[in-house]
Amino acid sequence: MGKPKALVTRPLFPAARAILDECFDAEYWTSAERIPRAELLRRVADKEALVCLLTEKVDEELLAAAPKLRIVATMSVGYDNIDVPACTRRKIVATHTPGVLDETTADFAWTLLMAIARRLVEGDAWVRAGTWPGWDLDQLLGGDVWGKTLGIIGFGRIGRGVARRAQGFRMRVLYHDAVRAPRDVESEFHAEFAERDRLLAESDFVSLHVPLLPETRHLIGKEALEKMKRTAYLINTSRGPVVDEAALARALEEKKIAGAALDVYEREPEVHPALLARKDVILAPHIASATVETRTNMAVMAARNAAALFQGRRPPNALNADALGL
Ligand SMILES: NC(=O)c1ccc[n+]([C@@H]2O[C@H](COP(=O)([O-])OP(=O)(O)OC[C@H]3O[C@@H](n4cnc5c(N)ncnc54)[C@H](O)[C@@H]3O)[C@@H](O)[C@H]2O)c1
C-alpha cells in the first residue's frame, strides 16, 4: 500500500520535511508567493493530510473540497484560521503548535515594548537620514520602562512569559484573563489579577496575548482606549482584529495614548493607512515567533502531529481530540 498523501503549503525546514517524507507522499508548495486559494482547493482534493500556515483558511469550502482529509496541522499556536467545529463534524483532526514559541514571542513583545517606549525606530531613522545634529538634552525623550506598571491581557503561555521578564525591570504586573490563574501562579509571576477596566486605567504598558475569538475581536476599541492613561503604550503581538485599528489611529491622533507597537493587523498584509504615517507607532511584519530555532521547532511539531495520526497515535496537539474520542 502506498503512503498517505499530504499537501504542505510551504517547503518548511529539512528537519520537518524528513518527518513528513518518511510518513507521507508529500507535495510541497514551493513558489515564493503564498499558495493561491484556487490552487489550494485543487491540490488538497486528493490529500489525507494538510500541513498549513496561519495564512490558509481551513473552512467549510476547503473541507468540502477535500473528501479524503483526515488531519489539518497548522504551523501556528493561534488557530483562528481553522474552523475546528467544522473539522470535528467531518471527523478531521485539527492540530496546532502550542508551547514551542512562548519564549520567542514573549521576547518580541518586549522588543516592541522597549522600542516604542524609547523611540528606537524614530531614532534609527533620524541617524540614517543624516540630519541628527549630535547629542542634546531633550532629543527623543521617551517613557521609562523600569518600575512602571505592565498590564497583560491574556495570561496564558505567552502572557506569563511576558510577565516573567518584567521582574528584571522591577515592574508591577497586572493581568486580566477570562479565567483567573491559581494563587501559586500569581505569586510565581508576581502578577495581580485585575478587571479589564482597572488594568487599562492603571497600566503604563498594555500587552495583548489573547487568542482571536468572537469575544476578543475589537477587545481594544474606542471605549477601551479611552480608559488608558494618556502616557500609556499598547503592544499587540496576538492577532490583528483584537484591536480596532481605526479606533487606535483616532486615539493616537487625539493623544489619548502615547503610542502603539504592533506585530499583527486586522487585514494583513494591509495596515490602516492612518497608522502608516505616524511616528508614535511601530509596525512589525508579524514576526514575533520568527527565529530560526522557533520556526524550525514549529514546523517539526506540525509535522509530528500530522504523522502521528497515520502511525496509529493520538496527535499530541490535537484541538478536537476529545470531541473525536481520540
Ligand atoms: N504575533 C505572533 O506571531 C504570534 C505568535 C504566537 C502566538 N500569537 C497569538 O497569541 C495568542 C496566545 O497564545 P498562547 O499560546 O499564550 O495562548 P494560551 O491559550 O496559552 O493563552 C491565551 C489566554 O487568553 C485567555 N483568554 C481567552 N479569551 C479571553 C478573553 N475573552 N478575555 C481575556 N482572556 C481571554 C485564555 O484564558 C488564556 O489564558 C495565540 O492565540 C496567537 O493568536 C501570535
With cell 473528501, the residue in question is: 67
Instruction: Dump pLDDT digits (tens) for 87-129.
Output: 999 999 999 999 999 999 999 999 999 999 999 999 999 999 9
Residue 164 has pLDDT above 90, yes or no: yes
Instruction: Dump pLDDT digits (tens) for 272-320.
Output: 999 999 999 999 999 999 999 999 999 999 999 999 999 999 999 999 9
Q: Residues lining ligand 1, judged by CB closer than 6 Å?
A: 77-78, 98, 101, 105, 153-159, 176-179, 209-213, 215-216, 237-239, 263-264, 286, 288-289
Strands (E) located in the chain = 5-8, 25-28, 49-52, 71-74, 93-95, 149-153, 172-176, 191-193, 205-208, 233-236, 259-262, 281-283
Instruction: Dump pLDDT digits (tens) for 189-231.
Output: 999 999 999 999 999 999 999 999 999 999 999 999 999 999 9
First-to-last alpha carbon distance for the chain, in angstroms, is 24
Active site residue 239: yes
> Which ligand 1 atom is nearest residue 102's CA?
15
SS3 238: coil
Cell of 220: 481594544
Whole-number pLDDT of residue 89: 98
Q: DSSP assignment of 134-173, as one string? A: S--TTTT-----TTSEEEEES-SHHHHHHHHHHGGGT-EE
Active-site residue (options: 10, 43, 239, 295): 239
Pairing type for strands 149-153 and 281-283 reads: unpaired
Q: Average of pLDDT values for 70-83?
A: 98
Query: What residue's CA is closest to ligand 1, atom 9?
Result: 238
Residue 1 has pLDDT above 80, yes or no: no
Instruction: Dump pLDDT digits (tens) for 12-59.
Output: 999 999 999 999 999 999 999 999 999 999 999 999 999 999 999 999
> Which ligand 1 atom is nearest residue 210's CA?
24
293 Cα: distance to centroid of ligand 1 (angstroms): 21
Mutation pick for ligand 1 pocket among 158, 218, 219 (CB with most ligand atoms within 8 Å):
158
